[in-house]
Structure 1
Amino acid sequence: MTNVALIVLDTLRKDYFDKHFDWLSGTRFENAWSTSHWTASAHASMFTGKYPSELPVNKKNEFFPATEPSLIEQLAKNGYRTRGFTSNIYMSSNFNFDKGFDELEVSWRVKQIPNEDTFNWGAFISKHQDDGPSRYVKALYQCLTDDSDTVPSLKYGAKMKLNDLGVISHEDEGSKRALEYVRKSNFDADGEFLFLNLMEAHAPYDPPEEYKTVERPEINKRRPSLTGGYDDPEWPRTAYDDAVRYQSDMYEKIFRAVREDFDVVITVADHGEMLGEDGAWLHWLGIRPEVSHVPLCISGDVDIPDPESVASLVDVHATVADIANLDVSSPRGASLLRSTNRDARLVEYRGLAQRRREVVEKVGGDPDEYDRDCYGIAEKKYHYETLDGFVGDKEWQQKLSELVESFDFEAASSDGVSDSVVEHLEDLGYA
């Protein structure tokens, strides 16, 4: 059995990958594309070989479907030991993406989310901002008198306050912990699958001090895509570059450690990032190539017959299955290890989550302006819809419409997530 690792460098733009990851050996796919503009949808494609809205996993439903077989489950059923580390809350039990893992470690950000029996200090204090310092006394009283588990709640509140004061600090978004995890794990000689999600390139662009050439930008409070951006747009761009430089240095160490035990390593980003293009920031709005064009590199002793052809995250499922010799269906994808005439690949933008609609309304915008569907199609070129029109060769506009109409995209709905999870997502710019 071939040991295979799938490592996702979350939110890493293709151009910044080219700039900072020249050390990474392997076969690179220059024409590789995500299936979406954000984490859960993109990973859902990699784990199923389907487009997100076929499941559906999109901004109307952020959870991996309970009845949908996952690549991780399929590997486990075929004798693989499945292990992973995630820095991203979406790739955790909070959203059902832990299905099939024998072991899934999480970063400090995910660990700090309280369970349902813990008093949610952050949500209470946020709702009582106008009360001044007395809000902390009110929060303490509420914590002691409601049905919360008192001792864990008090510990959680103390930890939050120490975090705010800088007494407790975290060196990075999880890459150091991921490196420790890889180094301490005793991987077998064969039959191992490893998944990593590393978040250093993701907002809040806050690498260790020695990598910072600018201060951490105000991402969430400013709502830059909705409020006109930054007076100095080079500030967040430089901060992003600092974060990617750190990610590159850390990933070089992680990659070398992984290669000691794994025959094949697939390195990929789930999506990119907007850095002011068309006035947009982060990755919640649209599917411009800065968001949808992703790095993809396969390292190891495998033959890659056609790296110049279009590739997509929807092909990762079939590729891992091919490497692991699994007899599973990949409905939309094709193995990148096979010589095949891969056709055009779809990219989706399916509007806004409800909490994002509320953010738009809060700053005086019209959420319906952004809560619409847009699609892109990648072949030799990339052609895509925006909220303002179509970009690309006009002959592909009709082909794109026909492709979308050919799919049985399900309507999506979600039961929502807890206040503590929403608070965590806000810290990362997701709400």
Structure 2
Amino acid sequence: MAPRPNVVLVVMDTARACETVHERYDYLSELNRLAQTGTEYTKAVASAPWTLPSHASLFTGTYPSKHGAHAGHKHLDEGIPTLAKAFQDGGYETVAVSNNTWISEEFGFARGFDTLYKTWQYVQADIDLGKIARTKQGTEMIHALATRLAEGNPVINAANAIYGQFFRKRTDDGANRTNKWIREWLANRNDDEPFFCFVNYLEPHLEYRPPKSIAERFLPNDVTYGEAMSVPQDAWGYIAGTVDLTDRQLGILRALYRAELAYLDRCLGELRRHLEAAGEFDDTVFVVTGDHGENIGDHGLMDHQYSLHETLLHVPLVVHGPRFETGQVDDLVQLTDLAPTLLDAADIDAPELRDASQGRSFHPEAEIPPREHAIAEYMAPQPSMDALRERVGTSTDNIERFDRSLRAIRTDDEKLIRGSDGTQEFYELRNDPEEATNLATERSERVDTLETMLDEWLDTFERADTSGEVSMTDATEARLEDLGYLQ
């Protein structure tokens, strides 16, 4: 019997497909190398447009309305089986390295991991004084630190506060520290059991601060790095209309975004080399995907909220390793499908997870028909309208129109986005891949058909009964605010 493969699941946070799918993007040499020797899925669709619900779907194989982790309830609750727990119960060592605060024990994502390493902490601990270090100064900071140091280990708390404020962002958003930790873990681990390793890399996320040497490869010749760094990156001000960006500035931001991807691609290659040096890569199913995409002026938006357009839902997906042959697959797949697919790759039964999952395995030996449609959900606005108004200091129709939930259903060629406010958007993706022309009125019969399909899908499962805000530490809230998430 052949040994079971290792599984490495890498999320390039905020990586959209229009920048990362197909070999024409040759600046992503490492991702293309994986794609050329593995399987690239050209129509991979996220189930949600932002980190928390999308990762919950990735970990459970279920959609937001079933797993219940979304803007209205920011926690993946106990009771629903997870991929990490299935691998742990199946005899795998399970580790996670997270660069995004949402993916932590505080929001329910540690379940099933033997180790969860958080790169925003210098020393791993439950208490983080980052908010004090970021918001207090002088004697006020000293007093606040003295008060909080009594909670937990004072030396660790102080070290984490100093690291978070002054050192963490000097090089990148954690990719370098991630790879160093994985290299050391590979060197010291017990080789007798296979491993499941999850990695969230944060680099493509706002704010875009790529290394100067890489950024200069992507910026227009007449734009200096200094000018690029001075372009406003206030997503919420842009959405509300209080911050204006010219076409030139939006072009600069897109260049910085590509530079972030290029830097992360280099880190991806380094991760592969660590696995190769440890003698593990050939026996590893290596998955690279995005949890969602990004709007950079697209559809009048920035960041990855208030929308279910393809800029946010269409993500890269490459699977390399045993049984995944070289080539491209143009069938629809979803991130919800990864859970049963990886269970098949590792030959793990996990009946509870398989029964709860709404995904379908696309493992080469699964012999399951391709999807006829993909689903995505945006259960509540994030940030809320109150938080957005507080941030931008105004209340306009430009803000209030986002106070809604959204669901989308797409086939190979068509897509319907339905809002709780009664809005409908219908796009013919084959002829209009940028979703520029809403044909809901002209194609009303087809809209009705897709609405019926969406309603029938909703009737196939019991939706989560979750509501209300989830408590979090001040430090976590501050870090999410640093990332642009207003609570």
Q: TM-score when scaled to structure 1?
A: 0.87
Contact 1:306 1:339 (8 Å CA) reproduced:
no
Matched residues in 2 for 1:145 and 1:378: separation? 53
Matched residues in 2 for 1:206 and 1:275: separation? 15
**Larger deviation: 226-235 or 72-81?**
226-235
1:415 equivalent in structure 2 = 470
Change (3 A) 1:117 1:4: closer
Residue 71 of structure 1 deviates from its aligned partner by 1.0
Contact 1:113 1:421 (8 Å CA) reproduced:
no
1:129 equivalent in structure 2 = none
Residue 34 of structure 1 deviates from its aligned partner by 0.3
Residue 168 of structure 1 deviates from its aligned partner by 6.9
Task: Say whether residues 1:271 and 2:286 are aligned partners.
Answer: no
Contact 1:122 1:423 (8 Å CA) reproduced:
no
Listed as ranges, the gaps of 5+ residues in structure 1 are 126-134
2:431 equivalent in structure 1 = none
1:41 equivalent in structure 2 = 53
Matched residues in 2 for 1:114 and 1:105: separation? 10
Residue 143 of structure 1 deviates from its aligned partner by 4.3
Matched residues in 2 for 1:121 and 1:368: separation? 33
Matched residues in 1 for 2:240 and 2:8: separation? 38
1:44-193 matches, cutoff 5 A: 44-107=56-119, 109-111=120-122, 116=127, 118=129, 120-121=131-132, 125=136, 136-144=138-146, 148-149=150-151, 163=166, 170-184=170-184, 185-186=186-187, 188=191, 190-193=193-196
Task: Say whether residues 1:365 and 2:368 are aligned partners.
Answer: no
Counterpart of 1:400 in structure 2: which amino acid? L
Contact 2:47 2:335 (8 Å CA) reproduced:
yes
**Out of 2, 15, 33, which is 1:23 matched to?**
33
Contact 1:345 1:378 (8 Å CA) reproduced:
yes
Computed over aligned residues only, the root mean square deviation of the Cα atoms, in angstroms, reads 2.9
Matched residues in 2 for 1:248 and 1:47: separation? 23
Cα displacement string for residues 98-119 of structure 1 (whole angstroms, at most 9, x for unaligned residues): 1111122221x25589855858
Counterpart of 2:202 in structure 1: which amino acid? M
**Larger deviation: 233-242 or 327-336?**
327-336
**Out of 307, 322, 339, which is 2:344 matched to?**
322
2:434 equivalent in structure 1 = none
Change (3 A) 1:236 1:406: same
Matched residues in 2 for 1:153 and 1:70: separation? 31
Contact 1:390 1:397 (8 Å CA) reproduced:
no
Matched residues in 1 for 2:385 and 2:61: separation? 28
Matched position secondary structure for 1:424: helix
Residue 144 of structure 1 deviates from its aligned partner by 4.3
Change (3 A) 1:247 1:383: same
Contact 1:78 1:326 (8 Å CA) reproduced:
yes
Change (3 A) 1:256 1:229: farther
1:299 equivalent in structure 2 = 320
1:344 equivalent in structure 2 = 373
Residue 317 of structure 1 deviates from its aligned partner by 0.4
Matched residues in 1 for 2:304 and 2:206: separation? 10
Cα displacement string for residues 135-182 of structure 1 (whole angstroms, at most 9, x for unaligned residues): 643343444468855766666665566x2xxx7753111221222223
**Out of 399, 404, 408, which is 1:376 matched to?**
408
Residue 120 of structure 1 deviates from its aligned partner by 4.3
1:281 equivalent in structure 2 = 302
Matched position secondary structure for 1:265: strand
Counterpart of 2:426 in structure 1: which amino acid? V
Matched position secondary structure for 2:315: coil
Contact 2:42 2:328 (8 Å CA) reproduced:
no
Counterpart of 2:111 in structure 1: which amino acid? K
**Out of 217, 226, 229, which is 2:240 matched to?**
226
Matched residues in 1 for 2:403 and 2:9: separation? 32
Change (3 A) 1:78 1:136: same
Listed as ranges, the gaps of 5+ residues in structure 2 are 217-224, 428-445
Q: TM-score when scaled to structure 2?
A: 0.77
**Out of 397, 403, 417, which is 1:385 matched to?**
417
**Larger deviation: 28-37 or 116-125?**
116-125
**Larger deviation: 18-27 or 285-294?**
18-27
Counterpart of 1:30 in structure 2: which amino acid? T
